[in-house]
Structure 1
């Protein structure tokens, strides 16, 4: 059987594939992970390139063998069971992943994250930094993406520029996380309104349980972003419960925090554009995954989480002398700057 040492090592942040599978059986065969589809006259096997895959979502009518799960775990692939069309993840709307069990993940990121997390001031500062990064990413993606501009979605449109500038100013003024959440909700409503108007969705109302295409695509795309966020946190060894913005008692809350870095920039506008074009779920999924790759969404998540874990911003009112105990980026091991696993580490 093929072992992990036979696989070409690809950093998680550079991996290209997210799979959503339904009505099939995932299995190990001849040292590879395959999925089997049953047609009327024949059964077809399709290969999954596990070394270049970050997340697999298993939808309705799927099953997976123990041997396949062992190989996926050895390659560091996250597996999630979900409903039809990719939503919701089970249980309910909580984030539940079958995560590979490895003690060879890095320690510096989780230690740095916990150090800041137990300080209310630093936790708020990191939440603010995430929100500023979110705004910058929206501006960058919408300014660069000509396909979005062809759909009349522009970063420098007066309505969007005003909304983003206003939110950026409000972030600095926020005195607690609750203030950030309230203002973030207002920004998201403004973005919905703008994208809906640009794509002629005049009667749009955000409803997670609605059956219209725009709401369905928003749900679907958000869960793909959650897969990237969960993969980022698993690779860096940071538990999902240590959120900086979503509720402390909400399971998987840090996944939501990290996914929010890219959702508004990519998922939100394309959900409306694809709904206008009346695309199928598969076509929408392919479009979102292409845009995640084009705009290096996974790289961006890694960069932001690593930066905050190793060199978090000082709480307001603190001076530089309080920063002496922080870990610096030079502390991580040469050749493993992302905290990724090398194949030979598994054999130690």
Structure 2
């Protein structure tokens, strides 16, 4: 069998690439046409043996490098050619030290598709059209939440039920205020109010009293929320890079904030998956690794990347004619 070139590996559909790897205390390198990481294993007293482990770059979306890691130029070249996003993080995957506002080390290529960027540009410079796109993102995130919570047996057992009176009221209010919003700041306020309600609901279901969302807090629920959000940012960054849409063309988080579209796309899945599992894993006193595995498995089970791709493509390629806009404003 002929050896695969790194460029040939990109033939695997990115929408099916769900693997994320977090490495620490190792050296990532290229050896014999493969990307490996080298670590030391001690056998007996003070005797160290080098151990090599293969990284399957053809089926990897994000590689996070934590404490005590280094990477060679040759390995970065192969990862870039295979379309793998690389970021440097602290212990346990957070905080994200080198990602340029979650824009990562996105390898640039002249072979990105153009139709989605062209579709995005046809509405982005128009305030009304951009507001319509933002509303669609908001409605899609709620539909996804309802879908995930409705069919996930484990979340149901933990008490997460979209038919609960508190959730129904919150979602009804969200839908009403979203449809009536006149500017992005109205949407952000409505989003913040819903998320606050979901935090309270999740804390009650998992008996985590006195929970307060703090990004710098050291309690497990907040740590897991931060950790899971970073994983969601990695998926969002991968989705946008594959479709060729620059991360700066946001519809929700501000027109001039670099990388803000990554946050918009990540928000599609955070409430549905990251939020409930952060609280459930905190209640169970799970480790960082156990939480990560739970969230990554939930991403795979719910086809999160496919959902991101479908939503972004729909927004980019839909009809933004005058008649269509008037119909959506009714």
TM-score normalised according to structure 1 size: 0.88
Say if 1:93 and 1:162 are closer, same or farther in 2 by CA, change over 3 A.
farther
In 1: Cα distance, 2:171 partner to 2:94 partner = 29
The equivalent of 1:311 in structure 2 is: 318
Output aligned runs, 1:268-287, within 5 Å. 268-287=275-294
Q: Which moved more, 1:304-313 or 1:121-130?
A: 304-313
The equivalent of 1:30 in structure 2 is: 32
- Alignment partner for residue 12 of structure 2, among 10, 20, 27? 10
The Cα of 1:2 is off from its aligned counterpart by: 4.7
- Alignment partner for residue 111 of structure 1, among 102, 110, 118? 118
| 8 Å CA contact 1:126, 1:313 repeated in 2 | no
TM-score normalised according to structure 2 size: 0.93
2:67 corresponds to 1:60: yes
The Cα of 1:275 is off from its aligned counterpart by: 0.5
SS in 2 for 1:39: strand
The equivalent of 1:157 in structure 2 is: 164
| 8 Å CA contact 1:125, 1:313 repeated in 2 | no
2:247 corresponds to 1:240: yes
User: What residue ranges of structure 2 are gaps of 5+ in the alignment?
Assistant: 43-47
| 8 Å CA contact 1:122, 1:312 repeated in 2 | no
In 1: Cα distance, 2:98 partner to 2:72 partner = 21
In 2: Cα distance, 1:5 partner to 1:93 partner = 25
| 8 Å CA contact 1:270, 1:288 repeated in 2 | yes
Count of residue correspondences: 320
The equivalent of 2:127 in structure 1 is: 120
Say if 1:92 and 1:29 are closer, same or farther in 2 by CA, change over 3 A.
closer
Q: Which moved more, 1:34-43 or 1:205-214?
A: 34-43
The equivalent of 2:270 in structure 1 is: 263
Q: Which moved more, 1:2-11 or 1:35-44?
A: 2-11
The equivalent of 1:136 in structure 2 is: 143
User: What residue ranges of structure 1 are gaps of 5+ in the alignment?
Assistant: 324-348
The Cα of 1:39 is off from its aligned counterpart by: 2.2
Alignment RMSD (CA, Å): 1.8
Say if 1:181 and 1:239 are closer, same or farther in 2 by CA, change over 3 A.
same
The equivalent of 1:344 in structure 2 is: none
Say if 1:57 and 1:321 are closer, same or farther in 2 by CA, change over 3 A.
closer
The equivalent of 2:238 in structure 1 is: 231
Say if 1:109 and 1:93 are closer, same or farther in 2 by CA, change over 3 A.
closer
SS in 1 for 2:285: coil
Say if 1:301 and 1:98 are closer, same or farther in 2 by CA, change over 3 A.
same
2:27 corresponds to 1:20: no
Q: Which moved more, 1:193-202 or 1:92-101?
A: 92-101
In 1: Cα distance, 2:319 partner to 2:275 partner = 28
Q: Which moved more, 1:199-208 or 1:91-100?
A: 91-100
The equivalent of 2:198 in structure 1 is: 191
| 8 Å CA contact 2:103, 2:237 repeated in 1 | no
SS in 2 for 1:7: helix
- Alignment partner for residue 101 of structure 1, among 102, 108, 128? 108
In 2: Cα distance, 1:272 partner to 1:245 partner = 26
Say if 1:28 and 1:312 are closer, same or farther in 2 by CA, change over 3 A.
farther
In 2: Cα distance, 1:101 partner to 1:173 partner = 39
